[in-house]
Amino acid sequence: MNKIPSVNLQDFISGDESRKQKFINEIGKAYQDIGFVALKGHFLDDQLVDNLYKEVKNFFSLPVETKRSYEIEGIGGQRGYVSFGKESAKGKKEGDLKEFWHFGQYVEDDPERAKEYPTNVEVKEVPEFNSVGKETYQMLEKTAKYVLRALALYLDLEETYFDNYIHNGNSILRPIHYPPILEEPENAVRAAAHGDINLITLLMGAQGRGLQVQNHKGEWIDAIAEPDELMINVGDMLSRHTNNKLKSTIHRVVNPPRELWGTSRYSIPFFMHPISEMKLNVLDSCIDENNPKQFDDITAGEFLNERLIELGLKK
């Protein structure tokens, strides 16, 4: 497989059973084969996307001292600003060439759940950044819910199997700025090869070269979305839950050719996480004599904590 398959969410929500089944088959096969799809027909409209990029650029163009005032100690980078070079991929000592922001869950119907999460950080200097971030978060969360419904059916589960696990889940919207590269990086890339922690990731801003995915032969292939597409991949939590039937694929963001070093790149992933107590135990339907259970039992909260420590974001 040398190309990322493209699917259209409107097939799934069309009310036409044959179109719905076509979508389930296509996305399930893609996630078994390579772990990535390009998705059309999502819930983000063009105006929202334009507004988001405008506000993201406004935020990252603030002075470094101003941005750093929004860097919150002691929460593992789960909300607010994370400064340049602070995060590194698992097993890599060089920091990635990026700075980013985290919007988290907006809990409105469960006071106990709200206490579990850090509060979202409001940027005073760019007020629209806060509101457009929240709207984008909620539209991507809605899109992710339908993708997971399709995957539930593909896995012979009840269609709404994931719904209660992702409602008020610990999901994160991460606008990333990869600044211009000013000098020859020493072993550092914009984002080193890694797998995602979560259930699924919805990525805005995969237009143009940079994002690469490793196929089963170990070859790196370019993952380039059309302007109206989101790139969506399986994370380690879902891979684990399905006994690696659905693949969490290693991917990276490579540095551009030298003539483009002077340009910024922006990308905006939405990391769909469940609530912390969701059991990621391997599904019985994904175990057979040819595919014995590969993973120990663990909850989503325990798994996330392990990985944040590995990434250097938590002590």
CA neighbor of 33 nearest in space, from 155, 206, 286, 215 = 215
Strand 251-253: give its sheet, edge to edge.
191-194, 251-253, 211-214, 220-222
Give the other-Cβ count within 10 Å of 43's Cβ: 18
| Span 222-261, pLDDT tens digits | 888 888 999 999 999 999 999 999 999 899 877 777 777 7
Domains of the chain plus CATH, in order, are: 6-310 (2.60.120.330)
pLDDT in tens, 261-281: 777 888 899 999 999 999 999
> What pTM was estimated for this model as a whole?
0.90
Predicted confidence band at 166 (pLDDT cuts at 50, 70, 90)? Answer: very high
**Strand pairing of 6-8 and 36-40?**
parallel
- Residue pointed to by tokens 């799809």: 37
pLDDT at position 268: 93
Judge whether 45 and 132 are in contact, CB under 8 Å: no
For residue range 214-223, what is the model confidence (pLDDT) as tens digits?
888 888 988 8
Give the tens place of pLDDT for each residue, 192-212.
788 899 999 999 876 667 789
